[in-house]
Structure 1
């Protein structure tokens, strides 16, 4: 009789743990907030319903795995598919947002691009930086040319498999897409502004642009999921969750040289400087077609004069400054332990391609030209 009671207690404890884990796994990492400054995008009817249906049919192709698409022209919605207000992790597209934030901080006199890691007190406790590495500047980090070749949080396979040796190249000499550069930029922004990345972004981008779904809490650190993360570096990765429609507003800002609805959010001079092709990918035997160059955290297609932000899982922002066309493609990669796990179990999770979005853009551009 006693053994049955013990067994019953064990089963109840296991059931409790299972229920608790399920509840915990469903907790979202970020949530929507009702913004008092939110301003809805206007809608345009420049595309016929039949043409929009053609675009929607292509975007729904299971091979492309495209969940959300929104297109703007002159900051008005001309096409959308899926839940464009859904908060989705930008993954590496976060880096292009950081380019804008660093530019704003520079223009407010909070930092200078020629400040070095040494002067900023940037170092690693486990693998201290060398004197050569400490000469890397904020500008070098923006160009992914720091010359610091250390492991960093959330690094891509390319970085792990192709990392140069320590001090193999001096700062500024060699392009290497390394998360050390990008994560440290986030730490520098916080150090120089006295605000978290989310707070600074909300004050200087979200509010003046009337973003509809963003709040400071939409920037999280370390693991994008609520699980412990073994630190590789003193500088955590930061993840930015944004909706497709808010990311499209960023596209309009860039397409209009830093101007948004007659407000100069960031100077045209910074936009020009940050979008120069400092690195030609062919010079480093890198094939990332249709992208062929890199600016300050922005990918460039210099043949077509297009600007791109690019993130894991199909997080793409395509900007055509000449036509003021902006296309955004998003795929949900999870906002909780459960939804993130389901994404990782999907064998087609990497099926989205930049060429899918470029195809939608090119078809739309030709239609408008007619």
Structure 2
């Protein structure tokens, strides 16, 4: 009798643990908020229903993965496919958003691009920066030319496999796509503004744009996966979870030269400075076609005057400022222990390509030209 009671107690405890684990594993890291400033985008019928169906058929038939897509012209939705409200990790597309946030902070007099790591008190406790490394400026970080070649949280394989030796290049001399630069920029923004990245973004970007699915809690720190990060640096990686429609609003802001709904949110001068080709990828034997240059945390396609944000797992945004066109492609990479784990188990998880979005853009651009809408 006592053995049965003990067994029953053990089974009940196991059941409680299983239920608790399931609840925990299904709990999302971020949720769609209900913000008072949320403003829906208007929709345009500039594309015929038949043409929109052609685009949807391409998305469904393509051999690569494209879950969600949205396109805007003149700040109106012209095409939409999938759940554009879904919160998805921007991955490295976060860096382009950080470029805007740094620009806003600069224009508010909160920071100066010529401030150095040394003057800002930036250092590493495990591997202290050298005097040469401390001369790197905020501008060097924006260009991915800091000359600091230390390991950083969430660094990509390219950084691991191609890392120069310490002090091999002076700050500003050499382009190296290293998360140290990008993660430190987040810390500098917080230090200078007195706000978290999420709080600063909500106040100075989400509210003016009327984002529908963003609050300060959409920016999280640490590993987005069910695997903890190894602590490589004093400066944590930050992840920005956004919906496709909110990311498209960011693109529309850029396409309209920093003006949104008759409000100048960021200056044209900052955007022009941000989109200069400080690095030509061919000089470094980097093949990221159709991208061929790098500005302040933005990728550039110079021949066609197109600006790109590019993130792991198919987080792409294409901006055509001349024609006021914005195309966004998103693929869900997880928002909970369970969904993140399922994404990591998918052997085809990184099958999305920029060419899919470029194809949607090219077809739409040609259609609009033929309709005399460009």
Query: Take 1:78 and 1:217, find their aligned partners in 2: how far apart are those partners?
Result: 30
Query: Take 1:7 and 1:133, find their aligned partners in 2: how far apart are those partners?
Result: 62
Shift in Å at residue 59 of structure 1? 1.0
Greater mean alpha carbon deviation, residues 58-67 or residues 124-133: 58-67
Query: Take 1:68 and 1:168, find their aligned partners in 2: how far apart are those partners?
Result: 42
Alpha-carbon contact 2:153-2:229 (below 8 Å) kept: no
Shift in Å at residue 137 of structure 1? 0.3
Alpha-carbon contact 2:103-2:270 (below 8 Å) kept: yes
* Corresponding residue for residue 267 of structure 2: 267
Shift in Å at residue 229 of structure 1? 3.5
Alpha-carbon contact 2:153-2:230 (below 8 Å) kept: no
Query: Take 1:226 and 1:345, find their aligned partners in 2: how far apart are those partners?
Result: 12
Alpha-carbon contact 1:29-1:225 (below 8 Å) kept: no
Alpha-carbon contact 1:68-1:83 (below 8 Å) kept: yes
Greater mean alpha carbon deviation, residues 222-231 or residues 210-219: 222-231
Shift in Å at residue 228 of structure 1? 4.3
Shift in Å at residue 231 of structure 1? 1.5
Query: Take 1:83 and 1:353, find their aligned partners in 2: how far apart are those partners?
Result: 19
* Corresponding residue for residue 114 of structure 2: 114
Shift in Å at residue 6 of structure 1? 3.3
The normalised TM-score by structure 1 is 0.98
Alpha-carbon contact 1:219-1:241 (below 8 Å) kept: yes
Q: Number of residue pairs matched?
A: 370
* Corresponding residue for residue 95 of structure 1: 95
Deviation sequence 1:193-236 (CA, Å, 0-9, x none) = 00000000010011111111110000001112476443211000
* Corresponding residue for residue 340 of structure 1: 340
Query: Take 2:17 and 2:196, find their aligned partners in 1: how far apart are those partners?
Result: 35
Report the secondary structure of 1:35's partner residue. Answer: coil
* Corresponding residue for residue 235 of structure 2: 235
Alpha-carbon contact 2:255-2:320 (below 8 Å) kept: yes
Mapping 1:1-370, distance limit 5 Å = 1-61=1-61, 63-225=63-225, 228-370=228-370
Shift in Å at residue 20 of structure 1? 1.3
Alpha-carbon contact 2:226-2:341 (below 8 Å) kept: no
Query: Take 1:189 and 1:118, find their aligned partners in 2: how far apart are those partners?
Result: 16
Query: Take 1:208 and 1:356, find their aligned partners in 2: how far apart are those partners?
Result: 31
Query: Take 1:30 and 1:342, find their aligned partners in 2: how far apart are those partners?
Result: 17
| Unaligned 5+ runs, structure 1 | none
Alpha-carbon contact 2:93-2:309 (below 8 Å) kept: yes
RMSD: 1.1
Greater mean alpha carbon deviation, residues 220-229 or residues 161-170: 220-229
Query: Take 2:63 and 2:369, find their aligned partners in 1: how far apart are those partners?
Result: 29
Greater mean alpha carbon deviation, residues 45-54 or residues 222-231: 222-231
Query: Take 2:231 and 2:219, find their aligned partners in 1: how far apart are those partners?
Result: 18
The normalised TM-score by structure 2 is 0.97
Alpha-carbon contact 1:143-1:296 (below 8 Å) kept: yes
Query: Take 1:300 and 1:118, find their aligned partners in 2: how far apart are those partners?
Result: 30
Query: Take 1:35 and 1:5, find their aligned partners in 2: how far apart are those partners?
Result: 51
Query: Take 2:229 and 2:350, find their aligned partners in 1: how far apart are those partners?
Result: 23
Query: Take 1:116 and 1:240, find their aligned partners in 2: how far apart are those partners?
Result: 26
Deviation sequence 1:269-293 (CA, Å, 0-9, x none) = 0000011000000001100000000
Alpha-carbon contact 1:29-1:226 (below 8 Å) kept: no
Alpha-carbon contact 2:187-2:235 (below 8 Å) kept: yes
Report the secondary structure of 2:8's partner residue. Answer: helix
Deviation sequence 1:250-269 (CA, Å, 0-9, x none) = 11111111111211100000
Report the secondary structure of 2:125's partner residue. Answer: coil
